[in-house]
Amino acid sequence: MSAYTPADWFALLPVAGMLAALLLIGFFARGGRLRALCWLMGPPAIAGTHWLLLTEPAGVRMVALCLVLFFWMKAVVTASQAKPDPGLASGAVRKGAPGAVGWLAWALLWPGMRSAPGKDRAGASGTGLMGCLCIVAGVASIAAGHFVWRVTGNGWLASPLLLAGISLCLHYGLFGVIAWGWRRKPLFRNPFASANLRDFWGKRWNIAYTEMMQEAVQRPLRRRPRLATFAIFVFSGLLHEVAVSLPVMAGFGLPTLYFALHGAAMTLENRVVTPGTWPARVWTALWVIVPLPLVFHPWFLRGVVWPIGGMT
């Protein structure tokens, strides 16, 4: 796990300061008057974190950059969800906006991007137990990946088990337990039942990401739906470049290509397959799984994933 042990703990202090600044700006964005600033502060925060942690291991860099992305998008979504009232003074908060404690709890402790729970409060029972079971299954999968590596000496054979284990622990495990605590539906909702790619990305896989894109990208471009769809996938690719390629300083362009391909496939799928049919499900599975090495490219596996399985 040396990839996740900071070489210089003091280098993390200014990064923590930037995260605090992102949170502070996001808090004041509740009035809906700082949207431009919320968008503009992201790139400098990413560049600053990258420069400050340039000599740190890849795992440390990935965690720090993901936190910057997370807090940045929390601020952007906060400003996007707020509806400015011309009658309010500059910096004033619209009636109904969450208070300091409520917003901070949402920003720090809820991985989703929609502050108002809405219908998500229904069906939350059972997610806590399922989350705990997924954590156990994820740890077992990571242990199995380590065993495969020890027996065969081949990290590529162990990688699917490690990736599955990480997803089970984080996406279905930890996030499931958090959803139970907040009494909300899980953010990952049986992607194997996806009727097509649109169903997979819009309603089943990583609802937090979907919420973020709906608020930050789709809403401003709602009058141009095709452009909005393309912009969402390109922007998703760029965010994954920061989270996947930048920590290892390699593989640039591959995550963006993965999401661009999905954007193109979604524009074609209604002409190719009928949603809900077996051909549509096969179509979805192939598009999701086959190009995955573009996102989880070899440099990311070596620098970030393999150390989790003790493969050093």
Burial (Cβ within 10 Å: 0-12, 13-18, ≥19) of residue 1: exposed
249: left (phi over 0), alpha (psi -120 to 50) or beta: left
Report the percent of the chain where pLDDT is more than 70.
Answer: 89
Burial (Cβ within 10 Å: 0-12, 13-18, ≥19) of residue 283: buried
Distance CA 47, CA 52 (A): 9
Locate the DSSP E strands across the chain. Answer: none
Select the more confidently predicted residue: 226 or 93: 226
Task: Please state, rounded to an integer, the average pLDDT across all residues of the chain.
Answer: 86
The pLDDT, as a whole number, for residue 84 is 45
Domain positions in the chain are 1-109, 125-185, 189-312
- pLDDT tens profile 224-256: 777 777 888 888 999 999 999 999 999 999 999
Q: What is the pTM of this model?
A: 0.88
Select the more confidently predicted residue: 114 or 16: 16
Distance CA 56, CA 119 (A): 42
Enclosing H/E stretch for 13? helix 12-28
Q: What confidence category does residue 92 fall into, taking pLDDT thresholds of 50, 70 and 90? A: very low
Q: What secondary structure, in 3-state letters, does 177-193 show?
A: HHHHHHCCCCCCCCHHH
State CA 269 to chain mean position distance.
25
Contact criterion met (CB below 8 Å) for 84 and 31: yes
- pLDDT tens profile 19-63: 999 999 988 887 667 788 888 899 999 999 999 999 999 999 999
- Tell me which residue has tokens 């979805």: 284
Distance CA 178, CA 233 (A): 27
Position 127: which residue type?
T
